[in-house]
Amino acid sequence: MRIVPPSQSEAPTMRTRSLLCSALLSLALTTGPALAGPPPWEESAADDHSAEGQREIALAHADQEDYAEALAWLESAASAGSARAKVHLGYFHQEGLGVEADGQQALHWYQRAVEAGRTEHATRVAWAYLEGAWVTPDREAAEHWFQVAIDAGHHEAHLGIGSVLLSDVVGGGSAELAERAQGHFKAALEEGLDMGSYYLARMYREGLGIEPDPERALPYLYEGARSPDTQINAPMQAWLAEMYYAGEGMDEGDKLEAASWAWLAAANGHPDGERLVNAITAELDEAEADEAKERAWRRAGGR
């Protein structure tokens, strides 16, 4: 049996059938039941959903920028025990979503969220009390909430309270405050937070609340200089460049080492990096400058 192409008269008929099928398919797709949006808030509707289910409905309303409905569902979810809903309520009151912005209400809900187990927000509460952004400043309350965060394993709170204590020290605070600050920075460093090394190096090098001791600053400087975070490593590398150049905290200076650390500081974007490179390499010959660059390259991970 031979298959022959359709004749000229048959072709339009086949095309018509094809177009008709496409049209019917399109009609079937477009006339189906519409996708239902999130349900409006009603107490009886809330009874049909778990606390987290209510929170999800609230977020669906928020995605549609219907914040008043979202707020109603969040309040219901929070009452039903959703700690995450309490965090969202804090944010809604903070930003004025579906309600007039109210810092005190925001803080209220963040505190309730922490008390319900969302302890990662304890530092937010602590800073709010410390800075007085939403309430009257309350140092005692701030320290309490920092400690809540620390006790829950949020070690960045060590840096928070430590930096507050260090500010007190710089403002003329006692040696006891300096000791407390050191304790927090060391605890942060032990938990892998490199910023602890930055603060400890500063305290020892500059004598903040303690006797200046550049030699004791060096181990913390080396540790911070190896951090992958350029906001930490760059200033530490610049300090090492200065200290090696001047022989600060060591038996004698070493301009090659100073230049090496200066190259790293410059490469990591420190504002004084290029100035240090130019000042130090001006006192080196070409071979020494190349050696300093080679050391910097190796320290940066080169082979």
The tens place of each residue's pLDDT in the chain, 303 residues long, gives: 333 333 333 344 444 444 444 543 343 434 444 456 888 878 767 777 899 999 999 999 999 999 999 999 999 999 999 999 999 999 999 999 999 999 999 999 999 999 999 999 999 999 999 999 899 999 999 999 999 999 999 999 999 999 999 999 999 988 999 999 999 999 999 999 999 999 999 999 999 999 999 999 999 999 999 999 999 999 999 999 999 999 999 999 999 999 999 999 999 999 999 999 999 999 999 999 999 999 999 999 864
Residues 237 and 253: their CA atoms lie apart, in Å, by 15
Axis-axis angle for helices 83-95, 51-63 (nearest 10) = 30
pTM recorded for the entire structure: 0.80
Q: What is the pLDDT of residue 2?
A: 33
Q: What is the pLDDT of residue 302?
A: 65
The structure tokens 């398919």 sit at 25
Beta-carbon contacts of 246 under 8 Å, excluding residues fewer than 6 positions away, are 253
Q: Which of 201, 126, 203 is nearest to 157 (CA)?
A: 126
Residues 76 and 72: their CA atoms lie apart, in Å, by 6
Structure tokens given for 237: 């590398």
Residues 42 and 197: their CA atoms lie apart, in Å, by 54
CATH code of the domain made up of 49-149: 1.25.40.10
Q: End-to-end CA distance of the chain: give it in Å, rounded.
A: 74
Structural domain boundaries in the chain: 49-149, 155-227, 229-303
Q: What is the pLDDT of residue 36?
A: 66
Which DSSP state fits 82? -
Structure tokens given for 143: 């320290």
C-alpha R_g of the chain: 32
